């Protein structure tokens, strides 16, 4: 990873670590207190199919606050529906992260098979002016800071607040705005590599950013 850090410093880029996580839609089991002889019953749907996949990327740059973006893929269990992210969705995640950061990107991720497809390699080669991709070693989750994000999300969801990428920091604004993610002016892509091309969507559609209100948790990551 030292090579990636030197590359990011030389380019004035953000170094971005990407990782995936998922959660099944099967209702969870739990235990609670209840009066004797009055067992609490929670009615749920009988179907156990479905899954929510999250592709998240945590971004760092010297002198800047860290950023965390994520994209969702929901599988409903329908016939013919893709269960996981495609290479096009990963490409769009890279592009949208670059647009929001406004700097070159040094992208670091693991050796998942979809990360290694020829289409993504060709895309990286075509956009060498702002994109450098590094494959992380196998079986080395300790090198990826994004791995720690998932435990924070599951342990303390109440401390997370969604905010617009260009909105003021929470300490400067008591209430955060909700609305469409803005696209910085002058950052248009060619039609070939535009996310959601041909469907009339915003370039940053589907990309979300979360901020951790607990500064100690951010520093720990």
Contact of 108 with 132, CB cutoff 8 Å: no
**pLDDT (mean) for 8-12:** 74
pLDDT score at 79: 86
When mean pLDDT is compared over 118-122, 188-192, 217-221, the highest value belongs to: 118-122
Helix runs in the chain, H state only: 2-11, 87-101, 118-126, 146-155, 215-220
Query: Pick the residue with more confidence: 214 or 135?
Result: 135
Residue 39 lies inside a defined structural domain of this protein: no
Task: State percent of the chain over pLDDT 70.
Answer: 62
When mean pLDDT is compared over 117-121, 143-147, 187-191, 197-201, the highest value belongs to: 117-121
Rounded Cα–Cα distance for residues 71 and 187 (Å)? 20
pLDDT score at 201: 39
Contact of 115 with 140, CB cutoff 8 Å: no
CATH number at residue 198: 3.30.420.10
Residue 141 lies inside a defined structural domain of this protein: yes
Q: How confident is the model at residue 109 (pLDDT cuts 50, 70, 90)?
A: very high
Residue 32 lies inside a defined structural domain of this protein: no
Residue 40 lies inside a defined structural domain of this protein: no
**pLDDT (mean) for 113-141:** 93
Q: How confident is the model at residue 147 (pLDDT cuts 50, 70, 90)?
A: confident
Q: Per-residue pLDDT for 219 more than 80?
A: no
pLDDT tens track for 51-72: 889 999 999 998 899 999 999 9
pLDDT score at 221: 32
Widest pairwise Cα distance in the chain? 68
The domain total for the chain is 1
Residue 43 lies inside a defined structural domain of this protein: no
Contact of 61 with 24, CB cutoff 8 Å: no
Instruction: Tell me the C-alpha to C-alpha distance, in Å, between residue 160 and each of 16, 68, 136, 152.
Output: 20, 12, 28, 9
Rounded Cα–Cα distance for residues 73 and 146 (Å)? 18
Residue 134 lies inside a defined structural domain of this protein: yes
Q: Label residue 168 exposed, middle or buried (CB < 10 Å: 0-12, 13-18, 19+).
A: exposed
pLDDT score at 11: 74
How many helices (H) and strands (E) in the chain?
Answer: 5, 7
Q: Per-residue pLDDT for 101 more than 70?
A: yes
Q: Per-residue pLDDT for 171 more than 50?
A: no
Q: Give me the domain span that covers residue 7.
A: 2-24+49-220
Q: Per-residue pLDDT for 120 more than 60?
A: yes
pLDDT score at 188: 40
Q: How confident is the model at residue 139 (pLDDT cuts 50, 70, 90)?
A: confident
Q: How confident is the model at residue 2 (pLDDT cuts 50, 70, 90)?
A: low
Residue 93 lies inside a defined structural domain of this protein: yes
Residue 183 lies inside a defined structural domain of this protein: yes
**Length of the chain in residues, anyone?**
221
Residue from 67, 70, 69, 68 nearest 53 by CA: 70
């Amino acid at each position: 990873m030292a090579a990636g850090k030197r590359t990011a410093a030389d380019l004035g880029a953000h170094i971005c670590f990407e990782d995936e996580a998922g959660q099944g839609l099967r209702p969870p089991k739990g235990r609670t207190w209840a009066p004797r002889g009055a067992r609490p019953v929670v009615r749920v749907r009988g179907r156990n199919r479905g899954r929510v996949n999250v592709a998240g990327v945590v971004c760092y740059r010297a002198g800047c606050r860290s950023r965390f973006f994520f994209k969702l893929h929901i599988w409903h269990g329908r016939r013919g529906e893709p269960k996981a992210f495609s290479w096009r969705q990963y490409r769009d995640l890279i592009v949208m992260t670059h647009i929001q950061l406004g700097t070159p990107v040094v992208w670091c991720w693991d050796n998942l098979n979809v990360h290694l497809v020829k289409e993504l390699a060709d895309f990286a080669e075509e956009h060498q002016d702002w994109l450098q991709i590094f494959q992380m070693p196998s079986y080395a989750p300790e090198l990826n800071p994004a791995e720690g994000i998932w435990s924070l999300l599951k342990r303390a969801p109440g401390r997370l607040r969604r905010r617009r990428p260009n909105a003021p920091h929470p300490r400067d604004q008591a209430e955060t705005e909700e609305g469409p993610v803005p696209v910085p002016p002058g950052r248009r892509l060619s039609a070939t590599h535009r996310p959601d091309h041909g469907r009339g969507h915003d370039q940053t559609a589907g990309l979300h950013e979360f901020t951790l209100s607990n500064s100690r948790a951010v520093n720990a990551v």
